[in-house]
Chain A
Amino acid sequence: MPTPTRQFPALSRLLHWAMAAMVLTMLGIGMAMVVSLGDYHALLSIHRPLGIAILLLVVIRFVNRRLNPPPPFPASISEAERRVATASELAMYGLMLVLPLVGWGMLSAARYPIVLYGSLHLPFILPHSATLYAVLRKAHTVLAYLFFLTFLAHFAAILFHTLVLRDGILKRMVPWRVR
């Protein structure tokens, strides 16, 4: 039976756009801080608490996705596209979960204090180890670029559907209520 395009639940849309703002900021901070001298410390001071906030938010989003499942795909999305879209969403969820954990782990292995704000800091989750640090530090960069590529694919697909195919798929996720 034909049904009109259904939106994601309001809470899901709110969480999606909050996460979008946070991860896009985070990607910019991450890329900028590794080439910055004067702003390195200020950027790092945002990077750590923002990463932990993303970790918390991805858990909340995962629980929310279970409680409030996404609406079905519109008929304009082919079976193959649905599989790719679902896989890329899962990849993004996975990376948003793993990237902060790798960051937390690498700082732990290096015995850098994981300061959130003032004297508030997180405990170490790994032993002090040069090798662990080196491996996780590399992984942090590789996974971050992988996440950036996944984001670009997600963004490009939405642009293509919205501007070229004009199938109204973006309406599923726009912050405001459609109809």
Chain B
Amino acid sequence: MPADREGPGESARPQLGPAGTLIRLALVGLILAVVLGTYAFLGGWLTPGALTPARITDAFEHVAGVHPGFRRNHAKGVGVSGFFESNGAGARFSKAVVFRPGRVPVIGRFSLSGGRPDVADAPGEVRGLGLQFSLPDGEMWRTAMINLPVFPFRTPEAFYENLVASAPDPATGKPDPAGMKALLERHPETAQALAVIKGQPIASGFDNTTFHALNAFRFTSSAGVSVPVRWLLEPAQPFEAASAAPESRDRNYLFDALVARMQRQPLRWHLILTIGRPGDPTGDATVAWPPDRERVDVGTLTLDRVEAEETSRARDINFDPLVLPAGIAPSDDPLLSARSAVYSRSFTRREGESKQPSAITAADVRGGK
């Protein structure tokens, strides 16, 4: 070692013996192992049993099979577009540009829940509406809503348990009823939510369905005041209950009716904010807030164009509920971050796969405006 190039401290150091060298080599190895171990821990390599976005996405694929190119949930759908006309009433609660008086373009997608892109339309299938509001300053607001008044599961873990329980038993081809029974015993909140859901009549079509955002969010006004808010879309089209015993129907009767209606006239929904009070639970989507909470109609959503997925931009949009403009923020609801993570994983998988035509084809929608 050229001692003449080192400081005095360096040159004073005694030569290392073989044992000293070995100990120091071991120290190098130990430090590297600690660093590697830290990152292995962060990357989940040391906790293979943990629930991850990939595992939930795998469970969707296990229940419904892998349908390349399609969403892992809400696989069947059509694209729509139109605009949202804000009346300005929402600006009291949120500084988000979307609530100032005026109009912003909207792109969206009606869907049925589940991972089967060819599932037969039926009244009991959960209906979804994903929306993207494109704000003039380049911000975006996305929301993925369903027709249930409350969500049956409070946590991502309970949701995952349900997915596992709803996987068909290879012997019978149907889910094991014991699995669902055990789930309801472990999660009384799920049983309560399902009772609320059962009590709500189902609308005859997509057009007269109320869609709920379910999770609570925090709205912040330009004065800096923050309130918990839930929102829903109330149809301008009159409610009509789905017939209890559906006669033999076409597999796509719900979507066909939606397409036919939208080709006749635009469809409208009122965007209703429900303003929570301090103490209202924001972290539990299985429970509705008390009915006397202030409800504010903040504007009208008009959907005037319907397209098959193959031509709609909505196909390649991830309706991630945490794509939010400034003025809307997530609440402490544990489902929100988990939804964002799982939607993102599903999106990454399907965008890397070749695209197949949807059940509702461009030919089905032909003649649309």
Contact = CB atoms under 8 A, between A and B. Distances in A.
Interface stretch (A13-21, A63-71, A84-92, A113-121): A113-121
A112 B313 contact: no
Given A28-B39, A32-B43, A37-B53, A164 B28 contact: yes
A32 B10 contact: no
Given A38-B156, A38-B338, A168 B10 contact: yes
A75 B2 contact: yes
Contact of A38 (B42, B334, B348, B351): B334
Interface residues of A, number: 54
A39 interface: yes
14 contacts: A4-B7, A27-B39, A35-B53, A37-B56, A37-B338, A39-B337, A42-B337, A110-B351, A130-B350, A130-B352, A148-B39, A156-B32, A168-B6, A168-B7
Contact of B10 (A3, A152, A166): A166
Interface stretch (B117-125, B322-330, B361-369): B322-330
Contacts of A133: 316, 348, 351
Given A27-B39, A32-B43, 20 more contacts: A4-B6, A5-B5, A32-B44, A34-B53, A34-B54, A36-B52, A36-B337, A37-B341, A38-B337, A74-B5, A110-B316, A119-B139, A121-B138, A131-B351, A133-B348, A138-B352, A159-B32, A160-B28, A166-B10, A179-B7
B140 interface: yes
A172 B6 CA distance: 12
Contacts of B43: 31-32, 34-35
Given A118-B326, A152-B32, A134 B352 contact: yes
Contacts of A33: 341
Interface of A: 2-5, 27-28, 31-42, 44, 74-76, 110-113, 115, 118-119, 121, 123, 128-131, 133-134, 137-138, 148, 152, 155-156, 159-160, 163-168, 171, 178-179
A119 B328 CA distance: 11
- Name which of A28, A40, A166, A168 has the most chain B CB atoms within 10 A of its CB: A40
Interface stretch (B19-27, B144-152, B259-267): B19-27
A164 B25 contact: yes
B35 interface: yes
Given A35-B54, A37-B52, A167 B24 contact: no
A33 B348 CA distance: 14
Contact of A113 (B4, B16, B323, B341): B323
Contacts of B352: 130, 134, 137-138
Interface residues of B, number: 59
Q: Which 5 A-B pairs have the closest CB atoms?
A: A35-B44, A134-B352, A31-B43, A40-B341, A119-B326
A115 B327 CA distance: 13
Nearest to A123: B138
B2 to A, nearest CB: 5
B5 A75 contact: yes
Nearest to A131: B351
Contacts of B223: none
B355 to A, nearest CB: 7
Contacts of A44: 340
Contacts of B322: 41
Contact of A40 (B5, B6, B10, B337): B337
A41 B330 contact: yes
A167 B1 contact: yes
